[in-house]
Structure 1
Amino acid sequence: MAQNVRSVLVDPAVLSVSLEFFTFPDYTTINATNNCLANIESLRGTFPAIRIGGTTQDRATYDPTLATAVNYTVASPLDAPLNLTYGPSFFSLAAQMKGDVTVGLNRQLNNMSNSLSAALQAEKTMENLLSIEFGNEPDLYSQSSPIVPAGSTWSPPVDGAVQKQWISSMASSLGGIFQAAVYLSYPKWSTQGLIPILNTTVEYVKTFSGHSYPQSACGGATTNLPALMNHSAIVSYTSQYKPEASAAHGVGKRYFLGETNSATCGGGGISPTFGAALWVMDYVLQGALNGVDRLYFHQGTIGNCQYCFWGRTTVEAPYYGAAFVSEFLGTGGVKLAMLDDGSGAVGSYAVYSQDTNRPVRLLVYNSNYYNGTGTRTVSTITFTGISGGQTGSVIVAKRLTASNANVTIDAGGEVTIGGGGMFDENCLPTGVQSLEGVSVGSGGTISVSVNASEALIVYL
């Protein structure tokens, strides 16, 4: 293989997790939470970073006298509260998370003293605190939100001025720990537009964040699985974030998709499918190639969240994509390169050793949609110049597959890694994974066959 393919260094925690604010304490009571994260750590050598936030962070008020982590009332356990309080033990729970933690606090209610009090408690309690974001998706605030200055029309410049005011007012107490932007409505609301408004206060910004959902399931919107998992569509969609990442990097800051998943409002029918697992895999790689340092996959209301990786009783199909891409990236410093041109349904990637600059693994993704009916097509991809492989020798590969793209585990379907590897309800690995042999031909040539809606890692 050619050694001059353009490659990018990948953050060890490129695949990370966002936990909805009000239900974060409940996530800590589920065995699968720590086990799923620990599995990723074992594959990547680094525990995933955690962001605690979401819609309910902007409904929350800090109560330093509250004995419980959170307090709220809902009509149904599947509902998110319209308002809630949280206390010091909220941050004690967050301090127990093993990875970097970003905490989202309320800005919409315009109670800076309350949010500052919470932030100071977070800094006091959490040695693992990476950053604090004030406000979740302020681009969606209504004109009647308390944060909107009197006589102003809420807009990117007005929000930028408010963000600057909050940062400059609290920096002397908190230091340079702010996560700025936190916008969903790109490109109208952007990191690129915010940075000039922040001006010199950007020195107190730790990270910049955008939110991203390729599709919407809100208000009865229609979702489309073939479009979600299509490789060329993923390449096109993620490219929009390259200038955002470049803007952040240009002022010496990291850029995260601090909340992301397949479809808004919990995910719709496409989100628990095997096709969404394949999307997770390809989306992470394309995000990294476009300069996104970390992608935080959102986990919402427990029991009412189709895009969640896990719940109380099931580890869902998308988690298999998270595990598979983590295995492909592997441990240690790695460089990632895309080997195809991004225009077709089949994507191919290589991971290079940072030390030797030699490819150590390949990944092939056949994004052609297969719904379980008719003939399942197959694509054969050939690679040449595989170094170290003598003619007639055999290298090995591992496959991520299911009977079709629509398979969901909560409906009794199976997704497997290596033919038999799965995860039980506690996210502990079960079954036996097996490797496939790949023969090396003359000149270090190999050919691999990948079915529609399937992926394969080749170990060089």
Structure 2
Amino acid sequence: MLPSILLVAIAIAIVGVDRVYAQSTLTISVPLTAPTQAVSVSPALLSFSIEGDRWPEWVANPPSYTTRNDFTFNALSNLGALTGLPPNIRVGANSEDRIQLDNTVNVVQASFPPPTASLPYPEASAVLVSDGYYTLSRFLPSGTHMTWGLNFGTTNTAPAIAQAKSILSTFSSTGASTAAGISLDLLELGNEPDLYGTNGHRTSGYSISQYVSEWNTVMSAIISATSLKTGVRPFILGLSFGHSDHGVGEFSPQQAFADGYLTTNAGKFVTIISQHNYEGGCCTALVSNLMSKSLTRSNLTAFTSDIQAVKAKGLKYIFGETNSYFNHGVPSVSDTGGAAVWVVDYTLFAGTLGIANMFFHEGIGFKYNLFQPVSLNRSIEDATPLNPPVAAHVQPAYYAAIVIAEFLGSSTRNLVELSTTSSNIISAYALYSGTSISRVLLINHQAFLSSSSGSARPSVSVFFSLSGGGKTVQIKRLSIPFADSKSGLKWGGQSYETSNALVSGSLVTTSQVLTDPIVVSATEVVMVTS
């Protein structure tokens, strides 16, 4: 654990940058014990949402799908080894409302629109799956907790009932997924129903009151046709809206509650409310925009009233689908080192607001993926053919998941953001194990781009002021060549850019006394621990 810290004085020494980054000394008060605003966070704070159409490839090897995808397994297991629990997995998203159960197909049969430069790997327009599609859950790391989506693209109850029965079978006491140590936590009926009036699933003008009524009808039919019981897993994941008006009168948790959502027959099974959120829209952005400390806080704090409304009902609140920019990300932004910096800050700041889990959305070939689980034969940037194909690989944002997992660790986790309100480029978090401070994470949001190659890299000198002084700590760095780099990152001198997602290289950390400055370079994350 870190020695007792009275305050942190951060002296900013930035070379060669615009006045927007010029700062005076910044003093941060660090409580010796966990403050009352510290939030207990899950080891699965960072989790994954998987697009349903190509879930089989994500987790298993085609065409038979009888063996696991070792790259995916290793990438997830790396995280579980650091926290003691693998990330939670949700399967569904846009594909969720297009899936039909058909046991005449071998696992999955999907129809895809042609790729385009703006959408190189589009979602399927129609998906047929067999029972084997759901039993692929067994290939996840043991201890994984899952959420499975059900088709609400139609008010016909038959597709969703058939899917629910198939899912419950593989997670029964004798089911294959249960035997593999995988748990079914939640069922989700429908993906972003607030968008149904514009995406063809319902007529224009579809309202939240219509949604509440139809959702209760279909979900109640599922409950009647299956073994679901209140108070027993699996529970029901509620809402999963793509947007929220935060209680103004349209789609939001507040309005759903006002319309009787939780008092319906099906609503009594709801234990968690899900919101979908992205940092921005497609299709252009700058990496410096994504890394912006202020924009991230503006984005997330907009949901404060929603979080409070949900918690007032005794329910958990999650981002059941999230990532950088919707429609699979922005080229050369969502797949860069700057995205890694953003994921660290975005996830931890969300945790301090009381968002229990952040399910980062993944697919095959999506630009914002944390890792690409299979080889790709066309570019994720513009659909240009790749010859030879690019093998499965981690992307820069995967390092963020590793950093977060190691920062949270495997003991009791109480998280607080340290006040840095006078700094527009530095954010800092403290983690308390029990009530004692354990680790501090420092993030430099300034984008250092490849166009600056050859120039001095700006840096921030961080001074820790201690009671007793002279204490020694370990420093571990997420080193990123440039904010727009797509490879070459290292965490503590080690790389995950390997053929099997396993770590490579010798660990590099440094020791120093806390009376000496800790230098945090532009586009860098630094963890301080004893």
Does the TM-score normalized on the shorter chain lie above 0.5? Answer: yes
Rounded Cα–Cα distance in structure 2 between residues aligned with 1:449 and 1:144: 49
Q: Is the 8 A contact 2:240 2:276 kept in 1?
A: yes
2:349 is aligned with what amino acid? Q
Residue 192 (structure 2) aligned to one of 132, 137, 150? 137
Report Cα offsets for 1:198-225 as digits up to 9, x if no partner: 14133211321111111122xxx32222
Q: Specify the SS of the correspondent of 2:82.
A: helix
Rounded Cα–Cα distance in structure 2 between residues aligned with 1:166 and 1:249: 26
Rounded Cα–Cα distance in structure 1 between residues aligned with 2:198 and 2:445: 42
**What residue in structure 2 maps to residue 210 of structure 1?**
275
Q: Specify the SS of the correspondent of 1:456.
A: strand
Aligned: 1:194 with 2:232: no
Rounded Cα–Cα distance in structure 2 between residues aligned with 1:162 and 1:320: 42
Residue 181 (structure 1) aligned to one of 239, 257, 281? 239
Q: Is the 8 A contact 1:109 1:145 kept in 2?
A: no
1:134 is aligned with what amino acid? L
Rounded Cα–Cα distance in structure 1 between residues aligned with 2:421 and 2:397: 22
Residue 432 (structure 1) aligned to one of 484, 499, 506? 506
Report the Cα offset of residue 249 of structure 1: 2.1
Q: CA RMSD in A?
A: 2.0
Residue 492 (structure 2) aligned to one of 415, 418, 424? 418
Report Cα offsets for 1:41-64 as digits up to 9, x if no partner: 01111111000011111111112x
Any gaps of 5 or more consecutive residues in structure 2? 6-30, 61-68, 116-120, 172-177, 375-391
Identity of aligned pairs, percent? 27
Relative distance call for 1:159 and 1:367 in structure 2 (3 A) is same
Residue 168 (structure 1) aligned to one of 207, 211, 220? 220
Relative distance call for 1:381 and 1:144 in structure 2 (3 A) is closer
The range that moved more, 82-91 or 342-351, is 342-351
**What residue in structure 1 maps to residue 387 of structure 2?**
none
How do residues 221-260 of structure 1 correspond to structure 2 at under 5 angstroms? 221-260=283-322
Rounded Cα–Cα distance in structure 2 between residues aligned with 1:261 and 1:75: 23
**What residue in structure 1 maps to residue 12 of structure 2?**
none
**What residue in structure 2 maps to residue 156 of structure 1?**
208
Residue 525 (structure 2) aligned to one of 443, 451, 455? 455
Rounded Cα–Cα distance in structure 1 between residues aligned with 2:262 and 2:114: 45
Report Cα offsets for 1:171-206 as digits up to 9, x if no partner: 333334221111112225222221232141332113
Report the Cα offset of residue 31 of structure 1: 2.1
Q: Specify the SS of the correspondent of 1:360.
A: strand
Rounded Cα–Cα distance in structure 1 between residues aligned with 2:352 and 2:284: 29
Residue 368 (structure 2) aligned to one of 285, 291, 307? 307
Rounded Cα–Cα distance in structure 2 between residues aligned with 1:73 and 1:113: 21
Report Cα offsets for 1:310-362 as digits up to 9, x if no partner: 112211100001111111111122100111244521001110011xx111100
Aligned: 1:35 with 2:74: yes
**What residue in structure 1 maps to residue 377 of structure 2?**
none
1:23 is aligned with what amino acid? R
Rounded Cα–Cα distance in structure 1 between residues aligned with 2:196 and 2:106: 29
Q: Specify the SS of the correspondent of 1:193.
A: helix
Residue 103 (structure 1) aligned to one of 142, 148, 167? 148
Rounded Cα–Cα distance in structure 1 between residues aligned with 2:519 and 2:310: 40
Q: Specify the SS of the correspondent of 2:53.
A: coil
**What residue in structure 1 maps to residue 137 of structure 2?**
94
**What residue in structure 2 maps to residue 46 of structure 1?**
85
How do residues 51-66 of structure 1 correspond to structure 2 at under 5 angstroms? 51-63=90-102, 65-66=103-104
Q: Is the 8 A contact 2:34 2:436 kept in 1?
A: no
1:123 is aligned with what amino acid? L
Report the Cα offset of residue 262 of structure 1: 0.6
Relative distance call for 1:131 and 1:342 in structure 2 (3 A) is farther
Count of residue correspondences:
438
Rounded Cα–Cα distance in structure 2 between residues aligned with 1:382 and 1:195: 48
Structure 1 residue runs of 4 or more that deviate by more than 4 Å after TM superposition: none
Report Cα offsets for 1:282-322 as digits up to 9, x if no partner: 1110111111100011112x2x3111111122111000011
Q: Is the 8 A contact 2:113 2:125 kept in 1?
A: no
1:203 is aligned with what amino acid? K
Rounded Cα–Cα distance in structure 2 between residues aligned with 1:382 and 1:249: 38
**What residue in structure 2 maps to residue 369 of structure 1?**
447
Q: Is the 8 A contact 2:494 2:508 kept in 1?
A: yes
Report the Cα offset of residue 21 of structure 1: 0.3
Aligned: 1:84 with 2:127: yes
Q: Specify the SS of the correspondent of 1:347.
A: strand
Q: Specify the SS of the correspondent of 2:366.
A: coil
TM-score (norm 2): 0.79
Report the Cα offset of residue 274 of structure 1: 0.3
Relative distance call for 1:251 and 1:50 in structure 2 (3 A) is same
Report Cα offsets for 1:50-108 as digits up to 9, x if no partner: 00011111111112x23422112336684432111111111111244331110112101
Relative distance call for 1:4 and 1:178 in structure 2 (3 A) is closer
Residue 293 (structure 1) aligned to one of 356, 372, 380? 356
Report the Cα offset of residue 393 of structure 1: 4.1
Any gaps of 5 or more consecutive residues in structure 1? none
**What residue in structure 1 maps to residue 106 of structure 2?**
68
**What residue in structure 2 maps to residue 125 of structure 1?**
170
Report the Cα offset of residue 162 of structure 1: 2.0
Report the Cα offset of residue 153 of structure 1: 2.8
Q: Is the 8 A contact 1:21 1:52 kept in 2?
A: yes
Aligned: 1:351 with 2:405: no
Relative distance call for 1:236 and 1:62 in structure 2 (3 A) is same
The range that moved more, 261-270 or 1-10, is 1-10
1:72 is aligned with what amino acid? A
1:85 is aligned with what amino acid? L
Q: Specify the SS of the correspondent of 1:362.
A: strand
Residue 481 (structure 2) aligned to one of 403, 423, 435? 403
Residue 115 (structure 1) aligned to one of 157, 160, 169? 160
**What residue in structure 1 maps to residue 337 of structure 2?**
274
Q: Which has the higher contact order (CA 8 A, sep 6+)?
A: 2
